[in-house]
Amino acid sequence: MYIIFVAPPGIVSKSTTANIGMNLLRQVEGIKFGPDAVTWQALVHELQESKEMFQLLEGEGEYHVMSALTCVCSEFGNFLNPHDREMVDALVSLWDGQIGIWTKLTKTQGNNLIENPWLNVLACTTPDWIAGNFPDSLIGGGFTSRCVFIYAEDKRHLTAYTDMEVPHDFEEMQLKLIQDLGHIANTLTGEYKLSDAARAYGKEWYAEHYAHPPQELTGERFGGYIARKQTHIHKLAMVLAAAEHDKLVIEKHHLSDASQYVEKLESDMPKVFGRIGTNYNQRELTALLHYVCSKGEVSNIDLYAKVLKKFKYKDYQEAMDSAAAVGFIKRIDRQGKVFYAKGEVPF
């Protein structure tokens, strides 16, 4: 799974959030972590070095090979250069978790062979970094459709001092989580299967998915994601099943819950994808609209002062009028002065 936390700087503590989970996982014996800054050659080498054998839960004495690696990146830009075509192609190919030998040809070292590769990536970035670094080709090439973007632009809780919010049983809970992760990692080995009820639900979901795709995810930009949404849901359903019981079975409620979790993220996806491929001026104006929405209300004078050196007033005013016309912001005339406020249409 490729999971990307996206939020403006200092809003939701992206790196802290990622590290809470990863610090637990680092205490589980046998979990292998990759570096947070790599070239594709180094990533392939790390995957080769991670190769190990494990015994299947079903079939006594039967062993299986895997090359599994988890990468945690507090700054996504240190891990991925979106303009490095070979790196992007390698990540696209590795996401499928294909069984067998994965091959990557290099100019100096011949073929790199990885047996049963399995790569997880948890990364953090900002909307501005995506806008400034993601070309349109990352959508057309399919990389973004393989990512789960978790977006936030507002704080959910205002917590000045985190130590005042820590529950009394925090350390006990932490120990139990580590023990449970260790149990999952060392016990649940083998193929997950769908129960009959889950398979029936999956067939109904599949027909409905293509008959009525999400209205906010129409167009070519989201075509790749729509095609891979089923895979995102089934991968998450395996996680939910492992968290609940020791049977290698995905039940109907695991698929149903996974579908709801994934769909909750979709309303924010246009905010992430919509910034990809935009030019500099568009990004600056988009940042202005986000600023208005975050402040609630801003005077026209103060707002234009933020882009005074970058835009002619005519261009700025046309952009604000267009945003107001579609409801992203509201224009307010108050005693001869103009103010802009958050609109009715989510931006």
Sign of the CA dihedral running 33, 39, 42, 48: positive
Where do the domains of the chain lie?
A: 1-166, 191-272, 280-342
At 19, which helix (H) or strand (E)?
helix 14-25
Instruction: Identify the band that residue 87 occupies on the pLDDT scale cut at 50, 70 and 90.
Output: confident
pLDDT digits (tens, 9 = 90+) for 211-257: 988 877 777 778 888 899 999 999 999 999 999 999 999 999 999 99
pLDDT digits (tens, 9 = 90+) for 308-347: 877 788 888 888 888 888 888 899 998 889 999 988 876 6
pLDDT digits (tens, 9 = 90+) for 19-37: 989 999 999 998 999 887 7
**DSSP letter string over 49-107?**
HTEEEEE-SSSTT-EEEEEEEEEEESSHHHH--TT-HHHHHHHHHHTT--SSEEEEEET
Q: How far apart are CA 120 and CA 31, in angstroms?
A: 11
- Selection from 277, 162, 267 nearest residue 221 by Cα: 277
Return the SS3 of 166.
coil
Indicate the residue type of 282.
Q
Q: How far apart are CA 34 and CA 47, in angstroms?
A: 8
pLDDT digits (tens, 9 = 90+) for 150-198: 998 888 888 888 888 888 899 999 999 999 999 998 888 888 999 999 9
Q: How far apart are CA 278 and CA 282, in angstroms?
A: 6
Furthest C-alpha separation in the chain: 82
Predicted local confidence at residue 203, as pLDDT:
97
Domain 280-342 listed as CATH 1.10.10.10: yes
Return the SS3 of 114.
strand
Query: Going by C-beta distance under 8 Å and a sequence separation of 6 or more, which residues neighbour residue 335?
Result: none
Return the SS3 of 2.
strand
Q: How much is the pTM?
A: 0.78
Domain 1-166 listed as CATH 3.40.1840: no
